[in-house]
Structure 1
């Protein structure tokens, strides 16, 4: 029987970003194991302080080891506790979370190469960036380690920056089915003083320059008849803080919102905007498509690869646009994109790869 050990360092934290990728693939993988109990023994190694209610698996065995409470304990857990457990159990180590253990893994996910392509994102955090890149180079130099990534565009970047042979890289993308389980919380409109009766565009922002927050601000200035609602972490960069300070009145910054609040905002918007200069996959437009919403995305990075003709495309370097004209552009049926990218399909591809 083949033992597979997944890195569960994300357990006990908010399931967002790469944690969402790991969590949802494992949930679907757990279902697939109903028919493979005699072939695989799958463990999820998590810190001792992990949240139990998030780990309700039928076939995947959750094992608790060590603490994960701060920067030092995080490094110890990821770089020592996880690899030791994999070695001790003679398992196949799998990391889908970007913690990048330099030992003890056979399969590791690199979602994008943002540390390489946008070093300015990490101004003031150069040591953090250098430590991450060192780990990636250390792991990718090991010929027996297989790389998982989320788009063909990211695959090309991994080849470019880390010299990994293309045949060592497998593309396994994101999914959208988690949106069906999220119940919209419409109290967000009162909380953030958003008039639900007025038409608005919605975007999920962040402090990083590659998310291209400036595009939203300029588009809002050019289209004052519409509101632009931007959610994201409160800890914006200095550049973004300046944009926020000088943004027009029709831009609303909500700060961080829950999944339930995000779904409510997405359900009532005219369209979701993702003007990114760079993405590994770009999951918010997929979530919006699953709700039947229009999406406006950059004709850049992996976004045309993922969204094909289901999106309205923009030039991320040209934000002086007429939103009414954009919304009149024809798009294709979103169903083909939703069928192509799902957690169920990704879990199947993951088991096929690791279990072979």
Structure 2
């Protein structure tokens, strides 16, 4: 119970093709399960992919037919959890007794079913979805295609002796979002990214040192060859696209802030490592950010975990 075998799935999507990307996700889960891993993690928005087109095709142009058509394609390939589109992933998690953190683009039915959220889904080893964290604040150009989320998914989960929690990309720079997880006892933090060592190389070790926890940063890959030929307006997207849009950078830092796995660049596949829970206890001896080194009488955080919706329906009809 004191060790946890983790797999970082640094893979590229079949971009904006949810069915083929789902197949690739399932293959990685099966591979991690065959390696007797307890947890497998995928990058931000991997299913069905990050909105790279926005910064490559003048995404802020208002009433553009190009932007509308690509966005509609994105919506059609996003994931609606309520429709059972992650049932196959849940079944694999149960079959292999492996927990999964999966970055998806979610089409939230409770918000009308037409807006998109960058969500991080946690599935436990019994194949149950235990949290869906919608990114609190999309970053910069992401706001042209993703909607702001809420605090409903700011939750942690037991996994053997560990307590795991996760955040999307630049949320990991948000001190209060991190604190919301620290205060719930998190000691294994999962940070998911679209894919770049420029993001993971500094914040991963910083968070580990701040929290005295293990920190897993998992990124995707994206290369020109990963764009399917049937992508709407592919010629316009590729016109300014570099050969490599996301180079990975997945890594692991220990509770002392030192590297266990340095950022892995450009390599697709699973990165597997075993973590020892006792290292968390050792590093909490001199600093525990939400325990003996906190002062709740002076500073305290309030978290609203209500799932936000425009409707609160109260039916008076009794039949």
Specify the TM-score bucket, using the shorter chain as the normaliser: 0.3 to 0.5
The structure that has the greater radius of gyration is 1
TM-score by length of 1: 0.30
TM-score by length of 2: 0.32
Q: Hey, which of these two has a bigger chunk of strand by percent? A: 2
